[in-house]
Amino acid sequence: MRHRIAGRKLGRTTAHREMLLRNLVTSLFQYEKIVTTEAKAKELRKLADKIITLAKRGDLHARRQAAEVVMDETVLKKLFDAIGTRYKDRNGGYTRMTKLEYRMGDGAPLAAIELAGVGVDAAPAAKPASRRGRREDKGKVPKTRQAKPLTASPPAAESAIGP
């Protein structure tokens, strides 16, 4: 039983897991939306919310604490200049996780994690692809496989070699 044990190990050593989460949080702040597995997204959510709270504080100590986690200086600047000010009046809930389809290779459940309130709420979400890559239009035959109409064959050319 896992009583009073917080966090997921994600099948990695401690150092590998910490670097994985640092890379994921840097990518999240850089692109503002990433797709990963559900378990990684749930762990990433915790870390990203803590870093955004530091960015909201905006002082030098908070910047240095965030610099220990965020891997890129330009992303750190974007975090404190744009993202921190965007959530100044919001108390938590900075990220949104949306469950997606299953990954083709190993069947792992995928999830998209994005920064909430980015302005993407106005556009409807695209319908995810079918689970095993099946075609939506089962009754239709692709153009490459359609039967060609029968036509008369062109007249045979006479051979260059005579009788």
- Indicate the number of domains in the chain: 1
Query: Mean per-residue pLDDT for 121-149?
Result: 54
* Residue 60 token pair: 């030098």
Quote the pTM value.
0.70
**pLDDT score for 153:** 57
Is residue 49's pLDDT more than 70?
yes
Asked whether residue 127 is assigned to any structural domain, the reply reads yes
Q: Residue 123: which pLDDT band, with cuts at 50, 70 and 90?
A: very low
Would the pLDDT of 66 be above 70? yes
Helix (H) / strand (E) element for 45: namely helix 38-57
Which residue range(s) make up the domain with 70? 14-134
Tell me the CATH number at 23: 3.90.1030.10
DSSP letters of 90-159?
--S--EEEEEEEE-TTT-PEEEEEEETTSSTTSSPPPPPPPTT---S-TTPPPGGGSPPPP-PPPPPPPP
> Region 100-115: what's the mean pLDDT?
96
